[in-house]
Amino acid sequence: MSEPVQQIRFEAGAWVERRDAGPLSEAERAELEAWLAQSMSHRVAYWRADAAWSSADRIRILDSTGADRPARTALPAILKIAAALVLTATLAAGAALYTRAPADRSYATPLGGHEAVSFSDGTRIELNTDTALRARMTTRERVVWLDHGEAYFQVKHNSARPFVVMVAGHRITDLGTKFLVRADQGELRVALVQGRARIDTADKWMQQHSALLAPGDVVLATTGSMSRTHESAKALANALSWRRGLLVFHRTPLAEAAYQINRYNREKVLIADRALDALPISGTLSATDPDQFARVLENIFGLKAEKKSGEIVISR
């Protein structure tokens, strides 16, 4: 069961207040990092609370002489906290706030959805299933926030106006690039298809990492680590098969294949026998047809597929 949004916001505000009161101990920092790592909802709430708190620090008031001075020295602590909470509540309005800002636009796809967005500078972004992002495209900056999900970026390079993707506490900077980004289950995956790109840790509370990517490079990053591997052009093309409504499996463990199918469908595939998790699956299947997936398991592997309570249960 997911946590109530209000509880997450409260905890995020409490962490920002503790941090502002003085340096956190090593134990407190570890506790904060663990809390942030629990979910993207925690990280987003923390970033919003931090932004609100910083904004509260910049509030200026007039004293009796008419001179203005920073709120940090003039406002009682309780007023500063109240201001921060008000600003946090305003930021938490989320989509409404970004819709009102003429330079910011929000895009989202439902489960199993696919949407392509083109911008006047020639950049094109394709959103995969259950994905949400926000874009700020102005004459001065090009910034995208990938809140969750997966997107493929084909960026029109402009060194005077870099294209930046903010995702899961990291910053990806285009250097003339086509790349795939996925934020899922507390892990960030960036695959560079063409050109160059740089990925840096943007959240100061996370372990700092940086990497310059070449075509074929794939980076996996979490709150505390970053690793890089290299994949073939064919493997990268398979990873982008969702653009055609397909999923390509090559000796993929059954548990992972089922997870991928479940990303696109409300009717979930459940592997009832844990001994089947590692069974290798190969083939090209529709991303939005779990029944086809079940038929393949029955006809080729001799497994049993039964529909129970809105799920397709796979067993021997």
The residue ranking higher by pLDDT, 86 or 103, is: 103
pLDDT at 205: 80
Q: Per-residue pLDDT tens for 199-216?
A: 999 887 887 888 999 999
> Cα Rg for the chain, rounded, in angstroms?
23
The residue ranking higher by pLDDT, 33 or 265, is: 265
Cα–Cα distance list, 70 to 58, 61, 74, 171 (Å): 6, 7, 7, 31
For residues 270-296, give the mean pLDDT.
Answer: 95
Range of the domain at 303: 245-315
**CA contacts within 13 A on the Cβ side of 125:** 29
Question: Last residue of a domain, which of 50, 74, 92?
Answer: 92
Question: Last residue of a domain, which of 32, 62, 92?
Answer: 92
Distance CA 19, CA 12 (A): 11
Both structure tokens of 256: 């992972």
Question: Last residue of a domain, which of 216, 236, 256?
Answer: 236
Residue 285, domain CATH: 3.55.50.30
Q: Per-residue pLDDT tens for 152-174?
A: 999 999 988 999 999 999 999 99
216 and 129, same structural domain?
yes
188 and 129, same structural domain?
yes
pLDDT at 17: 67
The residue ranking higher by pLDDT, 217 or 185, is: 217
228 and 128, same structural domain?
yes
Looking at every residue in the chain, the average pLDDT score rounds to 82
Full-model pTM = 0.66
pLDDT at 54: 52
157 and 217, same structural domain?
yes
**Alpha-carbon torsion (115, 119, 125, 130), positive or negative:** negative
pLDDT at 20: 64
23 and 85, same structural domain?
yes
Weakest-pLDDT range from 102-106, 123-127, 213-217 = 102-106
216 and 115, same structural domain?
yes
Given a cut of 50, whether residue 311 has pLDDT beyond it is yes
For residues 279-305, give the mean pLDDT.
Answer: 94
Q: Which residue has the tokens 């390509």?
A: 248
Q: Per-residue pLDDT tens for 21-79?
A: 667 777 777 788 787 888 877 877 777 776 665 544 433 333 333 444 444 444 444 44
Q: How many structural domains is the chain composed of?
A: 3
Residue 202, domain CATH: 2.60.120.1440
Cα–Cα distance list, 295 to 22, 121, 261, 268, 314 (Å): 59, 45, 13, 14, 11
Q: What is the DSSP string of the chain?
A: -PPPHHHHHHHHHHHHHHHHHSPPPHHHHHHHHHHHHT-HHHHHHHHHHHHHHHHHHT-EEE-TTS-EEEHHHHS-HHHHHHHHHHHHHHHTTTHHHHHHSTTEEEEE--TT--EEEE-TTS-EEEE-TT-EEEEEE-SS-EEEEEEEEEEEEE----TTS-EEEEETTEEEEEEEEEEEEEEETTEEEEEEEEEEEEEEE--TTSPP-EEEE-TTEEEEE-SS-EEEEE--HHHHHHHTGGGGTEEEEEEEEHHHHHHHHHTT-SSEEEE--GGGTT-EEEEEEETT-HHHHHHHHHHHH--EEEEETTEEEEE-
143 and 207, same structural domain?
yes
pLDDT at 221: 92
pLDDT-based confidence at 250, cuts 50/70/90?
very high
For residues 280-288, give the mean pLDDT.
Answer: 94
